[in-house]
Structure 1
Amino acid sequence: MITEEHLYAIALRECSLIGDINFHKLVRAFESPQEAWKHAKKDYSKTDGIGRKTVSDIGNEDYLKFAERELKFCEKNDISIHLRYRNELPHLLNECDDAPAILYQKGSIDYSLQKVSIVGTRNMTSYGKHFIGDFMEATKSSEYLSVSGLALGVDKEVHEQSIQYKIPTVAVLAHGFQTLYPSKNRKLSERILEEGGVLLSEFNSSRKPDRENFIQRNRIIAGLSPATIVVETAFGGGSISTAAFANDYNRDVFALPGKITDPYSQGCNQLVFQNKASAISTVKDLIDSLGFNHSKEHVAELFPYSEINIQLTENQKAIYQSIKAHPQVSLDDLAQMISISPYKILPVILELELLGKVKSFSGRQFTAI
C-alpha cells in the first residue's frame, strides 16, 4: 500500500545532494522521511557528517510534486515501493552500507529462496552459452532465484534459460520503469513477469539508462546474492565492477576461466589470478560450493581432468619445476632463478593455475599443487 511516507521518501531522495547514505543518516536522525523533510534544513547539525549545503534542497515543493506524479505512475503500473529504513529490501541487500534507500519492484517473488547472481559480457560466445545451459540444467531441481541485469548477451541468456528451467529470475534495471533498455528485451521482460520473476530498479520512473547508472545497478546485483558468477568478460568489462562489489560485500565470487587468447575470458582469468574469484573447474564443484541441494542426477564435469594426462610445454615445465622446487616462491625470485622477465612468466603461471598445477598467494607468491 502506497502511503504519505512514500511521498516524502521519494521527495527527500530526489534532492540533489541526498544520496542513499545521506538519506539513511537523515531518516535515522529524524526518525522518518517526513520529519527529515520538515526539520533537516534548520536542524541539520543533528545529523553527523551533513552540512548546510547538503540539506539546501530539502523542502522544495517541486520535489513533492514530482513524488506525487511518481506515486500515481507506480499505482497505475502495479509497481511496489520498498523502503530500506523499514527493512523492506531483501535481507542481504539491506546489509550493504550503500544499499538503495528506495527500491521499485514490478512483479512478486519469494526472496527467502537462495539467490545466485550471474553476469557477463554482452558479447557472449558459445562457450559462455554452453556453460549457462549446463549450470541451469544441473540446478533445475534446486529452489533458488537467479539474478542478472537484463542486458544482451550473458544476462539475456541467464533470464531465458531460467524461464526455460522454471527458475524464478530477478532482472535489475539501470533505469526507471518508463523505459526498457535494451528495447530488444521488452518481450523477455514480459515473460519474466509472466513466469513468476520480477523487475527491480532503484531509479525513479523517468530516469534514462545513463552510463553511470549501470555501475550503480551492478552493486544491487552483487548485493542481492551470497554468490556472484562471472561467465565471460573482457579486461575492464562491466562485470568486473559487479565482482568488485561482491568482494567488498564479502560475498563469494566465481569466474569461468578460458584461454588467455580469448578476449572475453581475459577478465575472468584476471579475477582468478588476482584471487578475486574462485576458478570454476566443474559444474558439480560449483554447485557444491554454492550449497545447492541438487538432485542426484549425473552432473557432467565442465573440465574433466581425471581422464586427461596434461602435457606441459617446455616453458610451462621449466617454470613449474622451479616453483615445485621452491614452494611459495615470489615472482621476482622466480624471475631471477630462471632468468626470464616477470612479465613473460605471469601468462605462463596463469596457464599453470588454470591447469590445476600451480596455486597463487597474496604478494605474488606461488606454490605447486
Structure 2
Amino acid sequence: MVSEEHLYAIALRECSLIGDINFHKLVRTFGSAEEAWKTAKKEYNKADGIGRKTVADIGNEDYLKFAEKEIQFCEKNNIKIMLRHLNELPYLLSECDDAPAVLYQKGKFDDSLQKISIVGTRNMTLYGKQFIGEFFEATKASKYISVSGLALGIDKEVHEQSIQCKIPTAAVLAHGFHMLYPSKNKKLSEKILEEGGALLTEFNSSRKPDRENFIQRNRIIAGLSPSTIVVETGFGGGSVSTAAFANDYNREVFALPGKITDPYSQGCNQLIFQNKASAISSIKDLMDSLGFNHSKEKVADLFSFNEISIQLTENQETVYECIKANPQVSLDDLAQMISMPSYKILPVILELELLGKVKSYSGRQFTVI
C-alpha cells in the first residue's frame, strides 16, 4: 500500500544531491523521509557529513508534484513501490550499504527462494549458450530465482532458459518503467511477467537508459543474490563490474574459464587469475557450491576430465602435488615449500584451475579438486 511516506521518499530521492547513501543518513537522523523533507533543510547539521549544499533542494514543491505523478503512474501500471528504510526491499539487497532507497517492481518476486545472478557479454558465443542451457537443464528441479539484466546476449539467454525450464526469473532494468530497453526484448519482458517472474528498477519513470545507469544497475543484480555467475565477458566488460560489486558485498562469484585467445573469455580468466572468482570446472561442482541438491542421476561434466588423460608440465605437477599434500595451503606457504616465487606460481595455478585440477579460495588459498 502506498503511503505518505512513499510520496516524501520519492520526492527526497529526486533532490539533486540526495543519493541513496545521503538518503539513508537523513532518514536515520530524522526518523522518516517525511520528517527529513520537512526539517532537514533547517537542521541539516544533525546528520553527519551533510552540508547546506546537500539539502538545498529539499522542500522544493516541484519534487512533491513529481512524486504524486510517479505514484499515479505506478498505480495505473501495477508497479509496486518499495522503500529500504521500511524494510520493503529483498532481504539480501537491503544489507548492501548502497542499496537503493526506492525500488520499483512489476510482477512477482518470492524473496524466500534462493537467488542466482547470471551475467555476461552481449556477444554470446556458442560456448556460453551451451553452458547456460546445460546449467538450467541440470538445475530445473531446484527452487530458485535467476537474476539478470535483460540485455541482449547472455542476459537474454538466461531469462529465456529460465522460462523454458519453469524457473522464475527477475530482470533488473537500467531505466524507468515508462519504456523497455532494448526494445527487441519487449516480448521477453512480457513473458517474464506472464511466467511468474519480475522486472525491477531503482529508476523512476523519468529516467532513460543512460550509459551510467547500467553500471549502477549492476550493483542491484549483484546485491540480490548470494552468488553471481559470470558466463562470458571481455576485459573491462560490464559483467566485470557486477563481479566487483558482488566481491564488495562478500558474495560468491563464479566465472566460466575459456581459452586465453577467446576475447569473451578473457574477462572471466582475469577474474579467476586475480582470485575475484572461482573457476567453474563442471556443472556438478557448481551445483554443489551453490548448495543445490541435484538428482542422483549423473550430471554431465562441462569438461570431460575423466575421459581425457591430462599430461601436466613439470611446474604444474610440482604445484599440484604440493597443494594435494597440503589442502587449503596459502600462496606464501606454497612458495616457501617448493622454492618458487609467488609471481611464477600464480600463472601455473590458473592453468591448473582451467584444467579443473585446483580450486582457489578467498585469501589466496588452494586445494585440489
1:37 partnered with 2:33: no
Q: Provide the TM-score with structure 1 as the length reference.
A: 0.91
Match of 1:222 in 2: 222
TM-score, reference length from structure 2: 0.91
The residue that corresponds to 2:157 in the other structure is: 157
Q: Indicate the residue corresponding to 2:10 in structure 1.
A: 10
Which residue of structure 1 lines up, in the alignment, with residue 125 of structure 2? 125
Distance 1:235 1:57, change over 3 A: same
2:223 partner letter: G
Change over 3 Å in CA distance of 1:191–1:109 after alignment to 2: same
Q: Whole-Å Cα distance in 2 between the matches of residues 320 and 285 of structure 1?
A: 22
Q: Match of 2:307?
A: 307
Asked if 1:329 is matched to 2:335, the reply is: yes
The amino acid across from 2:214 in the alignment is: F
CA contact (8 A) 2:12 2:23 kept: yes
**One-letter amino acid of the structure 2 residue matched with residue 268 of structure 1:** C
Indicate if the aligned counterparts of 2:139 and 2:294 stay in contact, CA closer than 8 A: yes
Residue 223 to residue 366, structure 1, CA distance change in 2 (3 Å): closer
Deviation at 1:311, TM superposition (A): 2.9
For 1:68 and 1:154, the matched residues in 2 are separated by: 37
5 Å-filtered alignment, 1:118-197, equals 118-197=118-197
CA distance in 2: counterparts of 1:41 and 1:61, whole angstroms: 14
Matched, 1:320 2:326: no
Once the 2 structures are TM-superposed, how far is the Cα of residue 55 of structure 1 from its aligned partner? 0.4
Could you say which residue in structure 2 is the equivalent of 1:283?
A: 283
Measure how far apart 1:347 and its partner are: 5.5
Per-residue CA deviations over 1:78-104 (Å, capped at 9, x if unaligned) read 101000000000000010000000000
| Preserved CA contact (<8 Å) 1:124 1:154 | yes
Q: Distance in 1 between matches of 2:81 and 2:237?
A: 31
Residues 42-80 of structure 1: CA distance to partner in whole angstroms, max 9, x if unpaired? 001111111111101100111111111111111111101
The match for 2:330 is none
Cα distance change, pair 237–62 in 1 and its aligned pair in 2 (3 A) = same
Helix, strand or coil for the counterpart of 2:306? Answer: coil
**One-letter amino acid matched to 1:223:** G
- Contact 2:27–2:33 (CA under 8 A) maintained in structure 1: yes
Q: Measure, in 2, the Cα distance between the counterparts of 1:108 and 1:235.
A: 35
Letter in 1 for 2:297: E
Distance in 2 of aligned mates of 1:99 and 1:192: 24
Query: Does the Cα contact within 8 Å between 2:319 and 2:349 map onto a contact in 1?
Result: no
* Aligned 8 A contact 1:323 1:367 in 2: no
Q: How many residues align?
A: 358
The Cα of 1:361 is off from its aligned counterpart by 8.2
Identify the residue that residue 64 of structure 1 maps to in structure 2: 64
Q: What fraction of aligned residue pairs are identical, expressed as a percent?
A: 78
Distance 1:105 1:325, change over 3 A: closer
Gaps of 5+ in 2: 323-332
Deviation of 1:30 after TM superposition, in Å, equals: 1.0
CA 198–155 in structure 1, closer or farther in 2 if over 3 Å, else same? same
Verify the 8 A CA contact 2:305 2:356 in the aligned structure 1. Answer: no
Counterpart amino acid of 1:153? G
